[in-house]
Amino acid sequence: MALESGEVEKIAHLARIAIRAEDVSEYRRHLSRILEFVAQMNAVDTHGVDPIAHPLDAVQRLRPDEVTEVDQRERFQAIAPQVDAGLYLVPKVIE
């Protein structure tokens, strides 16, 4: 399955990853090679096979509804790129 350059750019946008124009063709080549490789799966008929998302047939455990966390804002924001008045700052977002 060969990808078009435009598809690479579309995926890169969905994934919010900047790719330099000069690198697009290499990504295209690598991604096409990988997709071609994984297409080997199509050799087997999986009609009627239930997909599994986890190796074990375990079920979700539930947690009691208790507040166990305390305020650690100072610690968490010590590693943040930009904060002010307890808020994380990002470039202006227009709704």
Partner 1 sequence: MSDWEVVIGLEIHAQLATRSKIFSGASTAYGAAPNTQACAVDLGLPGVLPVLNAEAVRMAVKFGLAVEAQIAPRSVFARKNYFYPDLPKGYQISQYELPVVAHGHLNIDLEDGGTKRVGITRAHLEEDAGKSLHEDYHGMTGIDLNRAGVPLLEIVSEPDLRSAREAVAYAKKIHALVRYLEICDGNMQEGSFRCDVNVSLRPRGASGYGTRTETKNLNSFRFLERAVLYEVERQREVLESGGRVVQETRLYDSARNETRSMRGKEEAHDYRYFPDPDLLPLEIDAGFVESVRATLPELPDAKRLRFEDQYGLSPYDASVLTATRELADYYEAAAAACGGEGKLAANWVMGELAGALNKAGLDITASPVSAERLAGLLRRIADGTISGKIAKQVFEAMWEGGEEADRVIEARGLRQITDTAAIETIIDRVLADNPTQLEQYRAGKDKLFGFFVGQVMKACQGKANPAQVNELLKRKLAG
Partner 2 sequence: MHEMTVAELSAALAAGRISSEELTRAFLERIERLDPGLNSFITVTAEGALEQARAADRRRARGEGGPLTGVPVAHKDIFCTLGVRTSCGSRMLDNFVAPYESAVTERLAGAGMVTLGKTNMDEFAMGSSSETSHYGPVRNPWNPDTVPGGSSGGSASALAARLAPAATGTDTGGSIRQPAALCGVCGLKPTYGRVSRYGMIAFASSLDQGGPMARSAEDLALLLQAMAGFDPRDSTSVEEPVPDYAGELDAGVEGLRIGLPREYFAEGLDAGVARAVEEAVAQFRRLGAEVREIGLPNTRLAVPAYYVIAPAECSSNLSRYDGVRFGHRCADPTDIDDLYKRSRGEGFGAEVKRRILVGTYALSAGYYDAYYRKAQQVRRLIRDDFRRAFGEVDLIVGPTSPSTAFRLGERLDDPVTMYLSDIYTIAVNLAGLPALSIPCGFVDGLPVGLHVIGDYFREGRLLAAAHRYQRETDWHRRAPAGFGG
What are the residues binding partner 2 (CB under 8 A)?
3, 7-8, 11-19, 27, 30-31, 33-35, 37-44, 46, 49-56, 58, 60-61, 63, 72, 75-76, 78-82, 88, 90-93
Question: Which of partner 1, partner 2, none binds 95 (CB below 5-8 Å, type-dependent)?
Answer: partner 1
Write down the least CB distance from residue 67 to partner 1, Å: 5
Q: What residue type is 1 in one-letter code? A: M
The answer to whether 41 and 25 have CB atoms below 8 angstroms apart is: no
Chain contacts with partner 1 (rule: CB under 8 A):
14, 16, 53-54, 58-69, 71-73, 76-77, 82, 84-95
Question: Which of partner 1, partner 2, none binds 28 (CB below 5-8 Å, type-dependent)?
Answer: none
CA distances from 85 to 53, 55, 63, 73, 74 (A): 42, 45, 33, 11, 11
The answer to whether 18 and 12 have CB atoms below 8 angstroms apart is: yes
Q: What residue type is 47 in one-letter code? A: H
Write down the least CB distance from residue 82 to partner 2, Å: 7
Name which of 43 and 85 has its Cβ closer to partner 1: 85
The answer to whether 25 and 7 have CB atoms below 8 angstroms apart is: no
- The C-alpha atoms of residue 61 and residue 42 are separated, in whole angstroms, by 35
